[in-house]
Amino acid sequence: MAETRTLPGLLLNNAAAIPTLPAIREKTFGIWETYNWREYHDQVRDFALGLAESGFQRGDKLAVIGDNRPRLYWAQLAAQALGGIPVPVYQDAIAKELVFVLNHAEVAVIVAEDQEQVDKILSIKDELPALRLVVYDDPRGMAQYDLPWLKSFEETQEKGRDLHGREPSRFEREIAAGKSSDVALLCYTSGTTGNPKGAMLTHENAIATAEVFAKAEDVRQGDDWLAYLPMAWVGDSIYSLVLSLLIGAPCNCPESPETVQRDLRELGPTGIIAPPRIWENMLSMLQVKAADAPPLKRWVFERFRRVAGTVDEARAAGKPVSFWLRIGHALGEFLVYGPVRDQLGLRRARWAYTGGAPLGPDTLRFFRSIGVNLKQIYGSTEVSGLVALQPDAEANPDTVGPPCPGVEVRISEQGEVQVKSPGIFAGYYKAQEATQEVLGSDGWFRTGDAGLLDDRGHLIIIDRAKDVGQLENGTPFAPQFIENKLKFSPFIREAVAFGHQRSYVAAMIAIDFDTVGNWAERRGLPYTNYMDLSQKPDVRALVRQEIEKCNSGLPRKTQVRRFLLLAKDFDADDSEITRTRKLRRKYIAEKYGPVIDAFYSGSHEVEIETPVTFEDGRQTVLRNQVTIQDIGQDIGEEARAHG
């Protein structure tokens, strides 16, 4: 009998207890294909035994790379069934990025989605001495590849079926040998300050975290959610793989990244987790559509949007809602709120979460006001993705909610958030010293985040503790806090704030190309590309207005006083941000050193030389002259005085 406290053990239980219920769906050529739990089990069994026939052994590592596909989830479970460890990697990582992770993890088998990913692996194969086998999912374009170590998913499963015929109990015996303390996932951190670290999460970590979420949230066996976030992100592993196995609810794989919005609307999931940028993009899209609508439709949308906002504010404050407001809100549900939720694919959603960064208060309030139960969640890779989440009636843009049941949080004397929970990882792979730096002998994990607990016990995250500094006059300076305020604007995609040991705050801004592009088109402002659009005086004036709005909500001493618009967005391929869009601050400070000098020397122009990396690894250098804009009076003189 398999131990149920392993993920393959949960699969065995589901195949026996609910064999005909849907387990996973995949959209292919416009049609949703459903696999029940018995079929799910058989697919995993055949691939696992095929791996065993190919020499895969207990302790071996198997990497998956590609978009969310059932076979990539099955491959991870197959590796776990044999006592191996899956290593999901980012599908958009360029080849040279993959070398470090695949070598550090000593990956023996890679399961790649398609020809593009196989070609990526082929280009670095000579640098991966541990790699023995590459398996591809999609056979399109692979007919001419004749390599002894390259096999199709079907070939591997066929070998597994042959082994199953000879040893019918082999699969169950392999699963029974597993323990809840075994490492179930090797999830690499984003690597904001250097090479990523491999966090070892055990079966117990993963299952206990999913149980904590299920206790804190209304999760049901008949739920549906869309598996579209990167498979290398710990959140996808916990919610698309582990929670599905624990609850017995199906996850759904979209046809492609380009069809996610359409597939979301077709599916109408009962729960969804998305980073702030996706919620902000949804709101921006609605605003653009409303602006382009005929006058009557635009008036109706804005009118009932204000009604919804007023009702939501009253409810949040615990005040009664007047009779006429209730009538107006009911009419708005029929005319606006319901159709908007349906358009976004959120009509059935009972719960929706945002995490990874703060969400703008206007965005949070908008979605909640139209009936989307949007809340904030907080976690990290090392704690299996979950520490705190907001209850339904306590959604607040300023906090991430109280710690979940079974999770303890304390704030150190230095203001660092520390966590103890059943999801705390087993340590960093091959990095004992780094593990000891963050995981004390008392079991408390040091998150590296600066924060506090408010009077209600809700957790407030301020910034990364190492990034919190002070201005020249001693005023506390938290760059991420200011950056997030700036990014609440739909026109600003990314921002980097400077000010530590300086006389004032300055910021580099990357515009949101789509939103600003729509704004420019509505005003008849022509442009050719990102660089051309970002450097137009009208766009600079637009962003200045957005920064002034942000400044109105900041203490005077930490308001942004100078800014410039970058001629390109920050890019993970250029090492400026991680694959999860976290800033690599040290690298940015070095790369844009001339910009920082110009900010604080009083210059009004600066030449930037920016290396740009293409998807195939080729590089070029982008040179451009950028204007620095002052906000407020006499900033230039102040800068020259301190230069």
* pLDDT tens track for 344-354: 999 999 999 99
Identify the band that residue 96 occupies on the pLDDT scale cut at 50, 70 and 90: confident
Asked which of 133-137, 265-269, 638-642 is least confident by mean pLDDT, the reply is: 638-642
Q: What is the pLDDT of residue 411?
A: 95
CA atoms within 13 Å, Cβ hemisphere of 74? 32
Task: Give the DSSP letter string of 403-422.
Answer: BPTT-EEEE-TT-EEEEE-T
Residue 148 φ/ψ, nearest 5 degrees = -65, -25
Q: What is the pLDDT of residue 636?
A: 46
Measure the N-to-C terminal CA separation of the chain; round to a whole number of Å: 72
Asked which of 96-110, 278-292, 326-340, 629-643 is least confident by mean pLDDT, the reply is: 629-643
Q: What is the pLDDT of residue 641?
A: 46
Query: How large is the average pLDDT for residues 229-254?
Result: 94
Q: Give the integer Cα–Cα distance in Å for 69 and 102.
A: 20
| Amino acid present at 579 | R
Query: How large is the average pLDDT for residues 483-503?
Result: 90
Neighbours of 332 (CB within 10 A): 24
Q: Are strands 107-112 and 492-498 parallel, antiparallel or unpaired?
A: unpaired
Q: Which residue has the higher pLDDT, 101 or 313?
A: 101
Q: What is the pLDDT of residue 617?
A: 61
Whether the pLDDT of residue 326 is over 80: the answer is yes
* pLDDT tens track for 430-439: 999 999 999 9
Domain residue extents for the chain = 32-179, 468-642
Length of the chain: 643
Whether the pLDDT of residue 205 is over 60: the answer is yes
Query: Residue 251: is it exposed, middle or buried by C-beta count within 10 angstroms (0-12/13-18/19+)?
Result: buried
Residue with tokens 């699963």: 175
Q: What is the pLDDT of residue 76?
A: 98
Q: Give the integer Cα–Cα distance in Å for 384 and 405.
A: 15
CA atoms within 13 Å, Cβ hemisphere of 217? 33
* Structure-token pair, residue 419: 């966590």
Identify the band that residue 4 occupies on the pLDDT scale cut at 50, 70 and 90: low
Query: How large is the average pLDDT for residues 562-590?
Result: 84
Share above pLDDT 70 across residues of the chain, in percent, rounded to a whole number: 96
Whether the pLDDT of residue 642 is over 80: the answer is no
What kind of fold does domain 32-179 have according to CATH? Answer: Rossmann fold (3.40.50)
Q: What is the pLDDT of residue 633?
A: 53
* pLDDT tens track for 110-144: 999 999 999 999 999 999 999 999 999 999 999 99
Query: How large is the average pLDDT for residues 17-26?
Result: 97
Mean of per-residue pLDDT scores for the chain: 90
* pLDDT tens track for 166-195: 999 999 999 999 999 999 999 998 766 668
Residue 542 φ/ψ, nearest 5 degrees = -60, -50
- 3-state SS string for 356-385: CCCCCHHHHHHHHHCCCCEEEEECCHHHCC
Identify the band that residue 2 occupies on the pLDDT scale cut at 50, 70 and 90: very low
- DSSP bridge pairs for 63: 87, 110
Do 32-179 and 468-642 share a fold? no
Residue 336 φ/ψ, nearest 5 degrees = -125, -60
Query: Residue 550: is it exposed, middle or buried by C-beta count within 10 angstroms (0-12/13-18/19+)?
Result: buried
Identify the band that residue 327 occupies on the pLDDT scale cut at 50, 70 and 90: very high
Q: What is the pLDDT of residue 312?
A: 85
- DSSP bridge pairs for 252: 25, 226
| Residue 503 near residue 472 (C-beta atoms within 8 A) | yes
Neighbours of 578 (CB within 10 A): 16
Query: How large is the average pLDDT for residues 467-474?
Result: 87
Q: Give the integer Cα–Cα distance in Å for 459 and 355.
A: 13
* pLDDT tens track for 405-423: 999 999 999 899 999 999 9
Whether the pLDDT of residue 639 is over 60: the answer is no
Whether the pLDDT of residue 35 is over 80: the answer is yes
| Amino acid present at 441 | S
Identify the band that residue 34 occupies on the pLDDT scale cut at 50, 70 and 90: very high
Neighbours of 147 (CB within 10 A): 10
Q: Where are the beta strands (DSSP E) in 50-182?
A: 61-65, 85-88, 107-112, 133-136, 150-152
In the sheet where 408-411 sits, what is the strand order? Answer: 408-411, 416-420, 445-453, 459-464
Q: Give the integer Cα–Cα distance in Å for 74 and 43.
A: 7
| Residue 199 near residue 428 (C-beta atoms within 8 A) | yes
Tell me the CATH number for domain 468-642: 3.30.300.30
* pLDDT tens track for 591-611: 888 899 999 998 898 888 776
Identify the band that residue 469 occupies on the pLDDT scale cut at 50, 70 and 90: confident
Identify the band that residue 445 occupies on the pLDDT scale cut at 50, 70 and 90: very high
517-to-265, 283, 392, 514, 532 alpha-carbon distances in Å: 25, 16, 36, 5, 11
Residue with tokens 């030449």: 607
Q: What is the pLDDT of residue 586?
A: 85
